[in-house]
Amino acid sequence: MEGEQTKTGNVPKIVEPPITVPNPRNIQASVAQVTVTSVPGQSKYVQLLNVLEELGRDIRPTYAGSRSSAERIKRGIVHARILVRECLVETERSARQ
């Protein structure tokens, strides 16, 4: 048995379950319905969700080698970081009041 080589045709396939990612639009709609008047920085939060959704659209083309998608992802990450900072500032400001 030690000297035997296995045939490559008999290698079992490993099937992984698909990864499900929640749609930010669904989260955004439920948050918007609940907290329209209670969150002063919601517009920044909604902008952040939109940027994240756009980033998600460009991931596959980037893996396929699309340079324009890679550039959009870079710009989106920079924009998202700015929006996260602004959301944190607004959250801290509202917590102090």
Predicted local confidence at residue 38, as pLDDT: 42
- Residue 22 CA from chain centroid, whole number: 9
Buried b (16+ CB within 10 A) or exposed e, 28-62: beebeeeeeeebebbebbbbbbbbbebbeebeeeb
Predicted local confidence at residue 18, as pLDDT: 67
Predicted local confidence at residue 34, as pLDDT: 42
Residue 26 phi, psi dihedral angles, 5° rounding: -65, -40
Q: Taking a C-beta distance cutoff of 8 angstroms, is the pair 41, 90 a contact?
A: yes
Q: What's the mean pLDDT when you consider all of the chain?
A: 76
Residue 87: pLDDT over 50: yes
Residue 7: pLDDT over 90: no
Whether pTM > 0.85 for this model: the answer is: no
- The string of DSSP codes covering 21-40 is ---HHHHHHHHHHHSTTT-T
